[in-house]
Amino acid sequence: MAYPQSSFIIKRYDGFGGNFTDSQYLGATYDIRPHVFENQITQIFSSKTNLYTGKLLANLTMGKAGRTIEIDDEIYRWYLQGAEEKTARVVENLESSNTTPGINKTLIRVKLDLDYFSAPDVLMGEDNEYPLAVVDKFSDGTGTIYTLQLQTDNPALFVPASMFEVGKEFSKVWTSVASEMNSEFGTQQYPSSYKLESQVGAFAQKYTVTDKAWRQEGRIGVTFMYTDQNGKTVTARRFLPMAEAKMWNELYTSIEAQLVYGKKHTSSAANGYWKKTGPGLREYLKDSWLQYYNGPLSISQLKDFLLDIQVTRVSETERINTAITGTLGAQLFHDALVSVSNGYLTVDSNFINKISSDTSTPHLAFGAQFTRYNGPHGLQVNMMLNSMNDSRKYSKIMHPLYPNLPVDSARMTFLNLGSTEGQPNMAILKVKDSYRWGFRAGTHTPTGPVKGGQVSALTAGYDVFCEGTAGLMIRDASSMGEFIYDVNY
């Protein structure tokens, strides 16, 4: 007679009979399990990452004096002054048919985009062999037409016609006035000033726990591994502490990602209020110095790029540059220095070292990595590795020559972490009193069920949350730049 199946049975172990027993019978019948090493866990190598927390910008700014600034509102403004003098450019070639402009002191006409100059100013074009005195000027609506005369006593001298082509530059260099009873006076320029505006972004994370999950999470038979906010691998025996740690880590990882990749954006949130996103480092650096390269990196490329930025702007004692890059950028930098230094390298104790050996034959180690370049004119370049550049989470376009690395791994970002008049050029901003964290209890709290107390919702569970604001401010992006590997998409 068949007996009905009990509703309490979730697995049935059928017996067996006969006169033969082996391990397969026992394993199939009674679910014999192999030995389990309790409290031991490892993570599959291919699933590991040290790129989970790329908090380089935060490390460079937070905790440094004056580089984390608390503000009262998510919108902020600052002033930036332009150059003390501007260079005028030719907007129309009025001497295109003249092959010997200015010969025998004949008058020359040039149309410039600035009306700043007048007699007795003396201008120079792109060849400083030909000073040109302003005789007269008038505006024609699309520019200012100056009448100039070459300052020379040589009647055969004339100005090269190429100096008056569209786009050529002219600047005031001095004045020439009468030595007695003078009535003419020269001009001067005053700098432009700009008011800039930007904003910080807001971030929030949460997770919800039901009453049953709270009761059972301590009985889970699985151990978890996760990466904490310092990039260290941590083993968790309980699920909820790990969940809270990952919630906080996700908040700061989100902040860091927006500080790098974010675009200035404002939209309407679901509740009708404004949702703001702050500009990231790369959006700021669109106004900086950018150079694209492909193939191997050369030191001459790097040297010329940085000297273009710093010559006439930074003294030779202050041309110290830090390049934020990935593994590939650091490798290309090393290879470039190796290629130019081969003739100077010597094998000595700095490169050859003895290492431990378990045989009677001594073991030697050879090698070192270039991380600094000391160039001419006080130029210094230091490499700093940023693991975000190597992350496929943030850059999914792979390098054409190194397909195991993203193209961003070869990108070099030169940051100006200095200050002017006591104000940092680069800082992280946060809105005052915008960092909040805690829990919202239903009929359950993180410490247990509510018994006689007040609740915010008649739901058996609770929410844990954290939120805050952060934004990147760069006062002057023109003092910074990027060396970007060029990829044809």
Residue-by-residue DSSP string for 302-341: HHHHHHHHHTTTS-GGG-EEEEEE-HHHHHHHHHHHHHHH
Q: Is 56 part of any domain?
A: yes
Q: So what's the pLDDT on residue 417?
A: 78
Residues 231 and 305 in one domain: no
| Whether residue 299 is found in the same domain as residue 242 | no
Contact (Cβ atoms closer than 8 angstroms) between residue 154 and residue 209: no
What local confidence, expressed as pLDDT, does residue 114 receive?
Answer: 92
Establish if 7 belongs to a structural domain. no
299 shares a domain with 222: no
Same structural domain for residues 202 and 56? yes
Which residues span the domain enclosing 126?
A: 88-191
Task: For residue 51, count CB atoms less than 10 angstroms from its CB and return exposed for 0-12, middle for 13-18, buried for 19 or more.
Answer: middle
Query: Which residues share a beta bridge with 412?
Result: 483
Q: Tell me how far apart the alpha carbons of residues 191 and 183 are, in angstroms, rounded to a whole number.
A: 27
The verdict on 96 and 184 lying in the same domain is yes
Q: CA 161 to CA 109: how far, in whole Å?
A: 12
Residues 204 and 75 in one domain: yes
The pLDDT of residue 10: 64
Asked, as a colleague might, if the bond just before 120 is cis with ω within 30 of 0, I would say yes
Any residues with CB less than 8 A from the CB of 102 and at least 6 apart, and which? 108, 130, 132, 148, 149, 150, 157, 158, 159
Pick from 58, 17, 94: which is nearest to 257 by CA?
A: 58
* pTM, entire model: 0.77
Residue 370: both structure tokens together: 């270039």
Q: What is the pLDDT of residue 18?
A: 62
Looking at the domain assignment, is residue 1 inside a domain?
Answer: no
pLDDT in tens, the chain (489 residues): 445 566 666 666 666 666 666 656 566 655 655 555 555 555 554 555 554 444 556 556 554 555 788 888 889 888 887 778 889 999 999 999 999 999 999 999 999 999 999 999 999 999 999 999 999 999 988 999 999 999 999 999 999 999 999 999 999 999 999 999 999 999 999 888 888 889 999 999 999 999 898 888 876 666 777 666 666 777 777 788 888 888 888 888 898 899 999 999 999 988 888 888 999 999 999 989 999 988 888 889 889 999 888 888 888 888 888 889 999 999 999 999 988 877 665 555 567 777 888 888 888 887 788 899 998 998 999 998 888 899 888 889 999 888 999 999 999 999 887 776 677 888 889 999 999 999 999 999 988 899 998 989 999 999 999 999 999 988 888 888 999 988 764
Tell me, yes or no, whether 141 and 164 share the same domain: yes
Residue 298 and residue 259 in one domain: no
- Co-location of 316 and 401 in the same domain: yes
In a domain, 13, yes or no: no
| 186 and 209 belong to one structural domain | no
Quote the pLDDT of residue 52: 45
CA atoms within 13 A on the CB side of 123: 32
